[in-house]
Amino acid sequence: MLNPDLINDINIVLSYFENSTSKMESEIYNKYCKLKNKLQADNLQSNVIKGSVRAYLDAFNDWDNPILNTMGSLETKIDIIINGEDSR
């Protein structure tokens, strides 16, 4: 069963990047859309958002952006899910 908090966090990231104008932000948005779709289809085999925090920081050098906390947390949670452990 899908964790509602996980989907909520994905929606927060999607909302943040929804109206992006840069190519990098659009790529991040697309990765999180793909993640959400794979989770909902119960077809998650790899961490499609792995490295998205790093990519954002490389492009924008915005270390103080609070969305990075949510993105980093999601990367970790998805790694745990893929490795077959409890999502907590």
Look up the pTM and report it.
0.89
Q: Which residues contact 57 (CB under 8 A, 6 or more apart)?
A: 63, 68
Which residue shows structure tokens 């409890």? 86
- Convert the pLDDT of each residue in 34-52 to its tens digit: 999 999 999 999 999 999 9
- Asked if the model's pLDDT at residue 13 lies above 90, the reply is yes
